[in-house]
Amino acid sequence: MSVNSFHDHARRLLENVLDETPKADREQLLNAYADAFTQLHIVEAHRLLTEVIDDARTRLDARLSPDPVRQTIASVQTTMQDLWRSFWRD
């Protein structure tokens, strides 16, 4: 999920830092990678927020449906998703 994705990207950035350390100015290197980590955080936070908004929109659409069967399915699905997330939260 997002934690694993962020971890993988951060690891690649740190590998680059270790590879470039003897060749580059320390201050420039720190600034460049601080910017890269900031950008990585922005991308991952935006992706996570988009995922949450899409999930909320889907749940809301199902709950506002005039069909009672669809509303019941949405309630059960919401409960199951919440239980699943609480068990497997990183």
> Which range marks the domain in which residue 73 is found?
2-88
- How many structural domains comprise the chain? 1
pTM: 0.52
Question: Distance between CA 41 and CA 24 in Å, rounded?
Answer: 24
Question: Distance between CA 35 and CA 23 in Å, rounded?
Answer: 19
Cβ contact 10:40 at 8 Å: yes
Which of 71, 64, 84, 75 has its CA nearest to residue 1? 84
Higher pLDDT among residues 46 and 87, named by residue? 46
Express each pLDDT in 24-79 by its tens digit: 777 787 788 888 888 888 888 888 888 878 877 777 777 677 777 777 777 777 77
